[in-house]
Structure 1
Amino acid sequence: MTSTERVMAAIQFHQPDRLPRWDDFHAFGDFTSNWRTWKGFSGDVEPADHYGIDISMVMSDEGPFFSQSGVIDKDGEYEISRDSWGRTVRQRPSGAYFMETIETMLPERSDLDRLKFEDAADDRRYQEYLKNVEAERGAGRLAFSKIGGIYCRSQFMRREDLLLVDMATDESFCHALFGRVGEHLTRIALEELRRTDSWETGMWVYDDSANYQAPMFSPAMWEKYLLPLYKC
């Protein structure tokens, strides 16, 4: 079986020749270069090729303020940058994918009305995404398109602790924020699927609404705020 055949069999509840493999080596900072040194490999050897990875995850620059993103300043071994969701974050460039949020776009709930989301169909969002899809398919892997989830991306804009309080105290604001973010992400998702003709595989939606110990909020809140948007 090819990787595509293997994965498609599995998600259609048919038995593949083996379990499809997935890993995200790039989420761990300098892992790939350290791995090459440890294994004694040259600089062109990729872990995904070496271990027979079947699945890759690819995404566009999905944030509503993507043209405003970039590095702002340096702080010793850290970078201060603004991401496409408007967050100002502090992060070690060569480290794993973790960061400290310094500032967000919605310090006050009333700020939501003034925010203008940039066009989801802007070609600049998809330049690297299309290159990555082509490269992964060329390597024989099935490239799954991905978007962030509505809660996760909303707390990028509002800040996690503030948004959790909002969910308990300001229903109208949360419906407005989740609605705008959900509509924007839907447009991004459709653009990704259209531009890569990935309708058959669908899309991964990453919504970090729990930790290792418990959900971030109750199932009742999820059903009230998020389920209607995901069902649309």
Structure 2
Amino acid sequence: MRVIDKFKMFSIGPLVPSAFSDGNDPKDKSFGCELFDKSEKNYHQWLDSRPEGSVVYVSFGSLAVLKKEQEIEILRGLLESERPFLWTRRKGEDEGKKKNLEYDDVIIDEKLGLIVPWCSQMEVLCHKSIGCFVTHCGWNSTMESLVSGVPIVGYPQFSDQTTNAKMLEEVWGIGVRAKEVEGIVKREELKRCLGILMENGEKGEEIKRNVKKWRILALGAVKIGGSSHDNLKKFIEGL
């Protein structure tokens, strides 16, 4: 007997807004709750003003806090890549409310990028302007990116994130993992990863095809008659 049968375990997921269950893209893509208050800045309007697939979204979740040296490397890499970016940066929340963010000798104008203390991640990932997601590869972020059809630059920090990064790069083929040098992802490495996902090279196109495939499979699982939907019914019936 399999362990999963012995303990009556059911695989359910991905967890997505219920409006996705019909397989369509609804206007409301939020879960209805947030861990932190969203930014006072109108990042929706900022995203609306950017071309389709042009924006790099950066977020390291609700727990991970990057070293200052790492933040500087990421910031420099984003600016040198010359791609618009939206960065959810919880640390220094007051800075996120200023029109410009001064970081050492760098001032970020909103024309180049936007840094906010928090945002509705599902809404952002589903926005047409998002081209890729730089993430710590937490399970929620990984699944939300997969459901939204957004390629990933993985930079895991701890726990299951390393395994998730390996899965998304080597098994699912929906992204690339950024390589560290002495514990830091350098700006050149970030630019390399962004180039793979945001340009029309052979590897990038393959990743985009894989992202579309897995998005369809994930949404199919939560639709009526899908594997996740059926497993949830079995679980409820067994209570």
Using the size of structure 1 for normalisation, the TM-score is: 0.24
Over alpha carbons, which structure has the higher Rg?
Answer: 1
Please give the TM-score of this superposition, normalised by the length of structure 2.
0.24
Q: Which structure has more RCO (C-alpha within 8 Å, separation ≥ 6)?
A: 2
